[in-house]
Amino acid sequence: MIEIEKGSANIYEDLGLPDAAEMQIKATLAAKIGEIIKHRHLTQTQAAEILGMPQPKLSGMLRGRFRGISETKMLECMNRLGRDVQIVVCKPSRSRATGHTSVVFT
């Protein structure tokens, strides 16, 4: 019999990788960037020009290789694709020793 263990919402944390929270945020941003590029029917070459990055770097980012790309750069990509980015800092809804960072699209 195969044992199945339910994971958390963060696969990087489940795998015990360093910087799991940051990697989850980058994965969410990369997926949304990819959706926008697809929705606008852009080639990777066209998108790379708009985003101000080499096409191979964009290709890597869209395939989950984003360790060399900062969150700030990914937020800039969202702006270059015509999206507004808001950063909101608030008190946590429940008592915790540390805060939590998430990405929400509206």
25, 103 in Cβ contact below 8 A? yes
Q: Would 32 be classed as within a structural domain?
A: yes
50 within a domain of the structure (yes/no): yes
For residues 29 and 79, what is the distance between their CA atoms, to the nearest angstrom?
12
Averaged over 75-88, what is the pLDDT?
94
Position 9, amino acid? A
Rounded to two decimals, the pTM is 0.84
Mean pLDDT, the chain, whole residue set:
90
Q: Which of 17-21, 76-80, 91-95 has the highest mean pLDDT?
A: 76-80
Residue 99 within a domain: no
Structural domain of residue 47, as residue ranges?
A: 11-80
DSSP 93-104: SS--SS------
> How many angstroms separate the CA atoms of 47 and 83, rounded?
14
The tokens for 55 are: 């096409």
Kindly tell me if the per-residue pLDDT of 96 is higher than 80: no
Q: How far apart are CA 29 and CA 25, in angstroms?
A: 6
How confident is the model over 7-33, as pLDDT tens digits?
888 888 888 888 888 999 999 999 999
Residue 5 lies in a domain: no
CATH number for the domain harbouring residue 59: 1.10.260.40
Please state, in angstroms and rounded to a whole number, the distance separating the CA atoms of residues 26 and 75. 10
Closest CA relative to residue 80, chosen from 52, 40, 104, 46: 52
Count of domains for the chain: 1
Q: Is residue 57 part of a domain?
A: yes
Q: Identify whether 29 is part of a domain.
A: yes
Instruction: Note whether residue 37 is domain-resident.
Output: yes
Give residue 13's pLDDT. 87
In a domain, 103, yes or no: no
**pLDDT tens-place string over residues 53-69:** 999 999 999 999 987 89
